Structure 1
Amino acid sequence: MAPAQVSPTTNTVNTNVMKTIVPHIHPSHNTTVNKHVFQHQHYFPHSNSVVNECYNQQLICCGPPPMPPFNPCCGPRPRPFGF
């Protein structure tokens, strides 16, 4: 019988990864400040009024009616046709 032929040893590496969780805690705080502002609004209502007055004058004029330029007493006189 022939001597046994021995091959070099094959080395296989099996890697196992073990996960370990290490918690890191970073605390924080929020403060909410609610500010209520009271606005005091002052109003000063004001009104205006207008009075329109109208007057009539009745004048008694002496003599014949004036020709232009007219007398404000009687107002303008219409011109006869042809002038």
Structure 2
Amino acid sequence: MFPTQYDPGLVDPAQQYVKTNLFNKVVSHVHPSHTTTVNKLHVNHQHYFPHTESCVNECCETHTMCGCPVNPCCPSGPFGY
């Protein structure tokens, strides 16, 4: 039996993500009047962009038996274990 051969590891290209920070700024506009009282309704359209993030941690395990454990207390069976 020949020894196991290993190829070099394969690395996928990195995935790129864009994370944008949004900063709100308020600009006040004052419109004075000289002789007439002006009552203006200023409608402030505020846009919200709710976003959630989550993180998932995953674990995968394998157990490989590389031979049989030796138990000195019990006699060997017909197959050596």
- TM bucket, shorter chain: 0.3 to 0.5
Give the TM-score normalised by the residue count of structure 1.
Answer: 0.34
Give the TM-score normalised by the residue count of structure 2.
Answer: 0.35
- Using CA pairs under 8 Å that are at least 6 residues apart, name the structure with larger relative contact order, 1 or 2: 2
